[in-house]
Amino acid sequence: MILLPRTSPSNSRLSNPRPSNLLLWPQWIAVVLLLLSISVTVSSEEKPAADPALLALLKQAAAEANSFGDQYDAEVWLVEKDPVLARLVKDPVQRISLLKLIHSEASRAGLSPEIVLALIEVESHFDRYAVSSAGAQGMMQVMPFWKNEIGRPDDNLTLNKTNFAYGCRILQFYLQREKGDLHKGLARYNGSVGRRVYSDKVYRAWNDHWRTEPLDWGD
């Protein structure tokens, strides 16, 4: 009689794996591939490809801008601010024109362009035809009496360049009077001296939408 060697249970399991385990591998691979495809789809939706026409427009605007240190700075700033402004201004050509003009007039007055953008958002939501109950006009809500004060009664405050020139110089004056204190200067601009409701609104708009570099807002 020939005696066959005994096979231990553990060796038997290793040499003969369960068929059910092997059959599950294709299913797991399919699940992993599905999850990876979903992840790729989500990430591509979060970062849509930039419109080539818009990029060309931004580059052209940057090349023509004269209030920046160099063309690269202009491109970076315009590319950064354009999608933020798109919430309120749908036309891309109008957006680029506005951003260039705001940067130029704010820089001429020694102001942060981001503060001016935040102020305009609060004052008019970038509506050039906005008129307040007190009669303030345009994007920066400039009071018409200023035209007579400087001897230019025929100036049109619904023209953005004129409106920004007035608004930026007025804000510059009030900030200088308040020794650079943004809360107090903005309160004077709004006619709410001694209160922070208005300046807090501008701060939130700046901090949530337009902030590029830190600014000293005091306490």
pLDDT for 10 beyond 60? no
Q: What is the pLDDT of residue 47?
A: 42
What mean pLDDT comes out for the span 23-45?
44
pLDDT for 14 beyond 90? no
Contact between 105 and 168 (Cβ < 8 Å): yes
For 52-210, CATH number out of 2.60.200, 1.10.530, 1.20.1070, 1.10.12 equals: 1.10.530
Q: What is the pLDDT of residue 184?
A: 96
User: In sequence order, which ranges of the chain are alpha helices (DSSP H)?
Assistant: 9-15, 19-46, 52-64, 71-85, 92-108, 113-124, 145-149, 160-177, 182-190, 197-205
Tell me the C-alpha to C-alpha distance, in Å, between residue 190 and each of 69, 120, 185, 186: 31, 12, 9, 6
CB atoms within 10 A of CB 142: 24
Q: At what angle do helices 71-85 and 113-124 cross, to 10 degrees?
A: 20
What mean pLDDT comes out for the span 206-218?
92
Query: Looking at the whole model, is its pTM more than 0.85?
Result: no
Of residues 168 and 148, more confidence is placed in: 168
Residue type, 1: M
Q: What is the pLDDT of residue 4?
A: 42
Q: What is the pLDDT of residue 124?
A: 98
Residue pLDDT, tens place only, 50-102: 567 655 655 655 565 566 777 788 888 999 999 999 999 999 999 999 999 99
- Span of 28-32, 130-134, 153-157, 208-212 with lowest mean pLDDT: 28-32
Residue pLDDT, tens place only, 100-119: 999 999 998 999 999 999 99
What are the residue boundaries of the structural domains of the chain, listed by start?
A: 52-210
Q: What is the pLDDT of residue 40?
A: 40
